[in-house]
Structure formats: structure tokens, C-alpha cells
Structure 1
Amino acid sequence: MVMRAAVLNRVGGPLEVEEVPIPQPKAGEVLVRVAACGVCHTDLHVIKGEVAFPTPCVLGHEVSGVVAQVGPGVEGLTPGQRVVASFILPCGGCYYCVRGEEDLCERFFALNRLKGVLYDGTTRLFRRDGTPLWMYSMGGLAEYAVVPATDVFPLPEGLALEEAAILGCALFTALGAVRTAGLEGGEAVAVVAAGGVGLGIVQLARAFGAYPVVAVDVRPEKLAKAKALGASHAFTPEEAQEGVRDLTGGRGADVAFEALGRPETFRLALDLLRDGGRMVPVGIAPQGVEAGVEITRLVRRKLRILGSYGAKPRKDMPLLLRLAQAGAIQVGAEVTERHPLEEADLAYRRLDRGEVVGRALVTMGGGYA
């Protein structure tokens, strides 16, 4: 039995659709028939060689789908269930997972992110000749994906299956950022860069009772999208400092989020803070990129920089699903375009050119309910 998968054969090359054997789950794993996979900047960093990862590989780390098969020892999941998975695949047994810090899972970073394998040290993806294909998270740009059962969550009724894919990274990362910030109701928030993750932060900040919620971006259509999803105000980077101070009595934001991973947006987020404020960077930058920080201001003004990478799957994903089910966040509203698997490369080229306004999906066309 074979499936289609979008394969990156070399850094800088195109994503090419191939037929490869359907992977098989091992103990503690689930085979998911993928409905949709979100198009994320982190995959783009791998394609461009800005984040090191072995090739040939299958990217895609933000998926929704239907359980096709469960491996030995898996309980609570059955074939036919609609599910989502986050991009962090917690091993459940390392030092950090045991402490409840699954966003720092040692085996995820050492094995999956560096070597493209799961937790027995092997990939589940191969070409017909036996050549291994390395997995970025679960390798979701394919019709089927193997996911550790620790990272598979039933999707509540009433949520559209394809759109739910973005719960696995864009909204998952946004929730992790808001929780890292310790955001409280009534606090002033600025969100620098209104892409998929930034739009999620806007929605969640609004849901947590923040005000004002200010979106900052260079593109008018992204600012308009942010306002439609709950931003109270929207500014270009040139307008942002004066605009935020006018809204906060001259002080600045209590919390500023940076969702792009560029030095200039990192510094802008810091500049938007009030004294004693918190800056939460979530954007991934190319390896080796640094952003200068004025040490004296950081010290004297008691600024805090709180890095946030994803969230804690087994704690935060159930909360995120409840928020979505309750309508506190609009999952489908973030999705602005869809592409079939054969257009996966086009989707990432559009993302690279800044043409995706919200979140793009690669859909597998499985006729899901």
C-alpha cells in the first residue's frame, strides 16, 4: 500500500510529490490519515537551509485527520476518530516531560529535531527501495502520518476537521506564548507580526481579557485580518511606538509578543514595553541570528524577556480544544487559502513571498466529513 508525500530532496529544492509506502505505527503510536497540514514558516526555514535538518525528508508539523490504526499499547483512541496533533511530540519519560515541561522534551529535540526520527531512533517513512525519509515532527505533508499517542487528541464535535490542523502549531504556539507571559485581564498587549501565530495570539489575548490588543505589521491586509479577529487597534511598525503609548497613558504595553523571528521585530517588541513589562518572543530565526538588546534599559527598567516555544501538549492542547469548542477562538477564520498536496511547493513559495495573509493549508482531498 502506498501514499502520496511531498518530499524535500535537498536544501533549497522544491517539494516533490512521490508515492511511498504507508508507514506503520509501532508500540505507543498512532497512524493518522491526514486531512490537512498547515503551512508554517518553520518548515520554510528548513527548505531554505536556515534551520539544519537532514534530507531527504517529509516536512509538515501541523496536522488534523482521522485515526487509521493504533499500535500496541495505545488506549483511548480508536480507528475513525477525528484528531489533531501538536508539532511537539512529547516522549513522556524524559527529565522535562516528567516535570510537566513537555515543551522542552529532551528526546524530541535530540532525536526528532536533529535527526528526523521517532523515539526508537528510526524513521517511519521510507521510499519503496528502502531509502529512509526523515520526519520533521510527524512528517505531515503526506496522506498518512505516524504520531506518538502522547500527542494525539480527539477533536470535539462542531469543529471543522481541515481547519483544525492549525490548532497543532499556530494556535498551540499562541496559547503557549500567552501562558508564558502570565497574561492577565485588562493588560495592554502588542503583537508584532500578524501571521498565523500572531493572529492566534491576538485571538487568545482578547479571550484572556487583555485591552488594548494592538496588532503591528507592515501589510494592511494582515492588519485588517487582525482587527477582524479581535485586535482593538492596528499599526504599522512606524506608527507602533507612538500609537501604543497614546493608548496606555504614555507608558507602553504590559506585554509585547514577537511572532516573526527577525532582529528588527524583536527590538521593536522590546521598544513597545512599559517599564517592568514582559516581551515574549516566539518567532524562529535562521540559525545564528542575534538581536541586540540595550543592557542598561533592560536592567534599570526591569524588562523581562520570556522565550516561548510551542506549548505543553498534554496540558495545553485540551485547554485549546475547549476554547475552540466554546467559540473563544475562531479556528476557521485564520485559514485564508487551501492547496492540494501537488501544490505544497507553491504554498511555501507564496509564504516566502509574504503572500499568505492568514494561514494556508495543504489538504489531502480525502472526502472527510
Structure 2
Amino acid sequence: MASIIRKSIVKRIIANPSSLICRSIFTDSSINPALISSSLPSSSASFSSSSYNVSGGGASYMRGMMFTKPNQPLVIEDFLMPRPKANEVLVKTKACGVCHTDLHVIKGELPFASPCILGHEITGEVVEHGPLTDSKIIKRYPVGSHVVGAFIMPCGNCSFCSKGQDDLCEDFFAYNRLKGTLYDGETRLFLRSNGKPVYMYSMGGLAEYCVVPAHGLTVLPDSLPYTESAILGCAVFTAYGAMVHAAQMRGGDTVAVIGIGGVGSSCLQIARAFGASTTIAVDVSDEKLEKAKAVGATHTVNAQKEDAVEKIKEITGGVGVDIAIEALGKPQTFQQCTQSVRDGGKAVMIGIGDSRARGEVDINRLVRRQVKIIGSYGARARQDLPKIVKLAETGAFNLSSAVSKIYDFEDADKAYQHLSQGTIIGRAVINIA
């Protein structure tokens, strides 16, 4: 009976998602590193730190966890209190998720402007609105309200945003991902010691305060905890976008998820919530695979001990799955994903990898058997983030089973070390305030 009720709730939440299949979504790993490097602002970029403090009194500075250069520890620095501009919100950060994409930046595998503050899935409390902010935004997010922030922060104005495709926002990619700024070409972060600019990976969530474009936020109900809910803005957000928009999953579909980290395990939960008939978890860690059973996997495959593709076909009666999700961003798993789907099936790539990584595909099978390879970066913040929060609020997505480890703010660097070592099962979260 409970299962029937959950499925009914999920159907109401989804409310008939668009039939458009997004087959060519930009991802960080699809961009030439030379292009990124040439786009990154120089250390002498002209930004002004004047007037960058909270206008309503209170603290004039904050602490942030700063990335300086690849393979160096994150360090705590004092920053001038960031000040939001029009249609931006200053958020007192409560928690920030620990994502592998940040780790790629830390390890130098994904070029990004530095120094910067990483962290891109957050929860927090609204502190201030920028001058000339739309009154509707102020009404929706009054000071003191609880919010969750998505890593894709749509501008709301570009050609894609105007069509509702927030996940392809041009300004987010051109300014934030390529230059480390918001959409006026400026960062909101300046060091307290010398006023020098520091760049923002999304909102720069590994800090006591962050500035978020309002379109990247939604209200967090009081019933949901700040800490566990931080993962809604990336891990669950990414899984939702993959299942709803890229794969267009339907009840009864068979699904394989390759790579059972924070995003992969979220895909399993989303697949279960949407009524998948079979969900196959693939990883090389028995511990992660055991955890996968608790979040929705009906079958598990250890790719170190057996051929993952052959095992998936065996489980599905020799045909392969309707939908395969690749959540690691590695050439080997890219190939496994394309080979695991049935004729006419969908191979959805959501893993961000080393920017030099390239995937191979069997061209003849792709053509003859209509295999669909779809890139998916995330969901659509304005339309989907409220639905994602509702999934958690109703229990269709279990936050407590998704978050496996919680770190203090001062231990953020240790959290990324543990992530690099593969000792985090599921998703870790950093408590900030």
C-alpha cells in the first residue's frame, strides 16, 4: 500500500515532463581544455572590492575554504562579506555537499579559474537581496527563509532559459564555468587582507555566506534538515535531470547505473521512485554495491570480478537495459554504458571526468540499432528543483540513506582527501553553520 501511495505522489510531482530528448548537452568534460584556459581570467583581472559588504550592518567579513592551485590543500581565508546585485540573494550557508567534480578541479583534471571557492550544492538561510531585485523574488524568498541552491544557476534571460531549458543556460556556462564569475562578468568574492578577487565555482558554497542568482534557488521546507538536504542541489538534481529529461524514464523500464557514488546512488533512488522494474548497480566496490541494495538496486555487478556488460545482458534475458547511466566520466565506463543498452535503448552520460578523457563507441551498432547516446549535465532549476524537494519531503527520495558522512567546515580538505581515496560511500556533506 505504501508503495502505491509513493508512486502516486511521484506521478503528481513529475506532472508530465517534456517529451524533448536533449541529446547534446554541454558538459565540462566536453570542452577543449585549451579553450577553457584561454577563457580563464588572469590574476590581474580588474575587479573592484569597493562596497562589497552587507548593507544592513552585521558582520563585515566571513570565512571561506579557498582552492589556490592543483594538488594543494584547501585553506581557510577571511573574505569581505559578499554583496548580492540585482536578482541575487545573499545566503548564510548551512551545509555544502562534497562532489567529485570539485575534486577534479582540486586535482587539476578540470581547468578552472583560481584562486576560487569550490562547493556547488548548498542549503542556507536568506540574509539579503541585491538592490533593484524583483519584488516577486523578495516575496518568494523573504529574509530568514530556508533555501536550497542548485549548481546550475540559470540566468533566466538567454535563448535556452527563455525556452525553459535552464540546464543549457548560456550565461552560466560562459561566465561561471569558463570564467568563475556571475553574469555581469564579476566575482562576488574578495579577500579581506588585500581586496583581491577570488573566483566562484557555481555559488562558491564552501564559505559561511554565498551569493546565488535567485533562479538557482528554491524554498526548503522546515521539515527537511539543512545538512542532508544540501545534496538536493547536485547529486539528486543531476540524477533527476538524467532520468526525467535525458532518459525520459517510464514505469517498468529496466535501468543500469554504472558508478555508485553520490550521483549514481541518487539515480538508483530516482529509478525506484519512478517505478523501474529492474535496477542494476555496477561498481568495483562490494561495500558500495551492498549500499546500493538499500537505495533501490535489484541486482548488483562487481565489474572487477565479472564482465559488466555480459552480466547486465544475462540479467535482462540477453537484450540489455532500456536505460544505462554512466556516472564516472571514464572511457571504460562510457563504453560499458553504450554496450549495456538494448536496441533502441538510451545510454545517458552524466559523469564529469578528466578534461582529456575521450569515449569510444561502436558506430555500426549505434546506427543500425538506433542506440541513443545522450549527455546530461543536470536538471532545470526553476521547474525541477521544487519537484526534487517535494520528492524528499514526501519520502519518495530518502535523504538519510543517501548521506553517509558529515564533516565540520574546518575538515573540508580532509573530506576531499577521503573522496579521492574512495572511502566515502554515497554522499558526504560539510556542515558550515
TM-score, normalisation: structure 2: 0.83
Q: Provide Cα deviations, 1:140-178, integer angstroms capped at 9, x if missing partner.
A: 000100001111111123211111000000000000000
Residue 21 (str. 1) matches residue 96 (str. 2): no
Residue of 148, 164, 173 corresponding to 1:84: 148
Partner of 2:237: 172
Residue 103 (str. 1) matches residue 167 (str. 2): yes
Partner of 1:94: 158
Residue of 111, 119, 122 corresponding to 2:183: 119
Query: Tell me, what secondary structure is at the counterpart of 1:133?
Result: strand
How far apart, in 1, do the equivalents of 2:144 and 2:288 lie? 37
Residue 344 (str. 1) matches residue 412 (str. 2): yes
Residue 299 (str. 1) matches residue 367 (str. 2): yes
Partner of 1:156: 221
Matches within 5 A, 1:136-147: 136-147=201-212
**How many Å apart are 1:251 and its aligned residue?**
0.8
Residue 2 (str. 1) matches residue 66 (str. 2): no
Residue of 254, 257, 279 corresponding to 1:191: 257
- State the AA in 2 paired with 1:270: T
Residue of 279, 286, 290 corresponding to 1:224: 290
How far apart, in 2, do the equivalents of 1:22 and 1:222 lie? 40
How far apart, in 1, do the equivalents of 2:249 and 2:218 lie? 25
How far apart, in 2, do the equivalents of 1:345 and 1:133 lie? 18
Of 18-27 and 108-117, more deviation after overlay is shown by 18-27
**How many Å apart are 1:242 and its aligned residue?**
3.5
Q: Provide Cα deviations, 1:249-287, integer angstroms capped at 9, x if missing partner.
A: 211101100001001111111121111111001001111
How far apart, in 2, do the equivalents of 1:77 and 1:22 lie? 20
Partner of 2:198: 133
How far apart, in 2, do the equivalents of 1:121 and 1:161 lie? 30
Q: Does the 8 A contact of 2:237 with 2:385 survive in 1?
A: yes
Residue of 322, 329, 347 corresponding to 2:397: 329
Residue 355 (str. 1) matches residue 423 (str. 2): yes
Query: Tell me, what secondary structure is at the counterpart of 1:306?
Result: strand
Q: Does the 8 A contact of 1:195 with 1:357 survive in 2?
A: yes
Query: Tell me, what secondary structure is at the counterpart of 2:157?
Result: coil
How far apart, in 1, do the equivalents of 2:372 and 2:419 lie? 31
Matches within 5 A, 1:250-289: 250-289=318-357
Residue of 289, 305, 308 corresponding to 2:376: 308
**How many Å apart are 1:233 and its aligned residue?**
1.0
**How many Å apart are 1:239 and its aligned residue?**
4.7
Partner of 1:37: 96
How far apart, in 2, do the equivalents of 1:233 and 1:276 lie? 22
Q: Name segments (4+ residues, structure 1) moved above 6 Å.
A: none
Q: Does the 8 A contact of 1:65 with 1:162 survive in 2?
A: no
Residue 249 (str. 1) matches residue 314 (str. 2): no
How far apart, in 2, do the equivalents of 1:64 and 1:360 lie? 14
Residue 317 (str. 1) matches residue 385 (str. 2): yes
Residue 62 (str. 1) matches residue 121 (str. 2): yes
Q: Provide Cα deviations, 1:4-56, integer angstroms capped at 9, x if missing partner.
A: 11001112211001121221111111111111100111111111111111111
Stretches of structure 2 that go unaligned for 5 or more consecutive residues are 1-59
How far apart, in 1, do the equivalents of 2:115 and 2:308 lie? 42
- State the AA in 2 paired with 1:240: A
Query: Tell me, what secondary structure is at the counterpart of 2:424?
Result: coil
**How many Å apart are 1:240 and its aligned residue?**
2.9
How far apart, in 2, do the equivalents of 1:308 and 1:252 lie? 21
- State the AA in 2 paired with 1:38: G
Q: Does the 8 A contact of 2:67 with 2:106 survive in 1?
A: yes
Query: Tell me, what secondary structure is at the counterpart of 1:234?
Result: strand
Q: Does the 8 A contact of 2:217 with 2:381 survive in 1?
A: no
Q: Does the 8 A contact of 2:219 with 2:386 survive in 1?
A: no
Identity %: 51
Q: Provide Cα deviations, 1:176-232, integer angstroms capped at 9, x if missing partner.
A: 000110111111100000000001100000111111111001001111111101111
Partner of 1:211: 277
Query: Tell me, what secondary structure is at the counterpart of 1:289?
Result: coil
Q: Does the 8 A contact of 2:96 with 2:431 survive in 1?
A: yes
- State the AA in 2 paired with 1:206: R
- State the AA in 1 paired with 2:229: A
Q: Does the 8 A contact of 2:146 with 2:222 survive in 1?
A: no
Query: Tell me, what secondary structure is at the counterpart of 2:375?
Result: coil
Partner of 2:28: none
Partner of 2:46: none
Q: Provide Cα deviations, 1:98-131, integer angstroms capped at 9, x if missing partner.
A: 0111111111011111111111111110002110
Query: Tell me, what secondary structure is at the counterpart of 1:11?
Result: coil
Paired positions, count: 365
Query: Tell me, what secondary structure is at the counterpart of 2:69?
Result: coil
